[in-house]
Amino acid sequence: MTRPMKLAVGPVLYLWERRAALDFYAALCDAPVDIVYLGEVVCSKRRLMQREDWPMVARALEAAGKEVVYSTLALIEAESELATMARIVDAAGAEASGGRFEANDMAAVQYAAGRPFVAGPHLNIYNEATLQLLASRGARRWVAPVELPLATIATLGANRPPGLEIEVFAYGRLPLAFSARCFTARSHNRPKDDCGFICGDYPDGITLYSREDQPFLTLNGIQTQSAAVQNLSREVDALRAAGVDILRLSPQSQGFPAVIDAFRATIDARGAVATFPAPSLPGGYCDGYLRGEAGIDHAE
């Protein structure tokens, strides 16, 4: 008997005001999701959420029956960031509930020294041998890189180590690249070290347009994202058949509760796609990577 597919809410990839972030997580306590990822993945300077806020949020979510996972940075450049990563890993391991962390850099995998973790989408895992290696180091869940086609996910799912869960980035602007340079600060002629947290003015990033005035990319601090939002709601049954256990929804500031409800309805319907809300961001929807095509493509 196949296990029921779960819904996860990924870490907030943008800089939201503290009150907005706290309200967002409070609403998730009543949302039909199973897993919530907490913490900062993009930029270590983003500290509007205070250190004591995260345990408070985690306790509320766990009391509501959600699994909580603590995410780590995708690009570690400084000793202070290594120290923060170590603190997150140690705190997750100290949770009475057996809390996990999401490793988005191999430094976190090495530091964990065999403790259970989620292999995040920013680790380069593209074949069975690498997946086996990470599982031997403690990985209990693998979040597939966003560019992997369904056929590859199915192959790795069929040959996965025993007990390993597979999670797929099913909704959100695609994380494409990270850089030492902060593009958002540069767009305002500000140095990275004196950015004034300008990215907080853009709760869904800055959309870049082509010369043909088409949405193309999104600037989000040191991260480059797609302008289009990946939406795999029409592929839920295919993903289930490929062995995918969990669908990740990446938060956005507009219309996110409706997105959660649409995915939950589609998962529960089995064979039918629930009415999905129109895109609230200018890039529209995309799903090309899953079909082995250009990521920006969208099957009509």
Question: pLDDT tens across 14-56, in order?
Answer: 999 999 999 999 999 999 999 999 999 999 999 888 888 999 9
Q: What is the CATH number of the domain that holds 272?
A: 3.20.20.70
The 3-state DSSP class for residue 137 equals coil
What is the Cα–Cα distance from 112 to 164, expressed in whole angstroms? 17
Overall average pLDDT of the 82-96 stretch: 84
| Host domain of residue 24 | 6-172+230-281
Residue 34 included in any domain:
yes
- Residue 248: in which H helix or E strand, if any? strand 246-249
The string of pLDDT tens digits covering residues 221-245 is 999 999 999 999 999 999 999 999 9
Kindly state whether residue 23 falls inside one of the protein's structural domains.
Answer: yes
Q: Where are the alpha helices (DSSP H) in the chain?
A: 18-28, 53-63, 79-94, 106-112, 128-136, 150-158, 183-187, 236-241, 256-269
Residue 184 within any structural domain of the chain? no
71, 120 Cβ separation under 8 angstroms: yes
Number of domains in the chain: 1
Percent of the chain having pLDDT more than 70? 96
Give domain status of residue 200, yes or no: no
| Domain-located, residue 295 | no
pTM score of the predicted model: 0.94
Give tens-digit pLDDT for 5-25: 999 999 999 999 999 999 999
Q: Cα(167)–Cα(71) distance, rounded to whole angstroms? A: 15
Residue 49 lies in a domain: yes
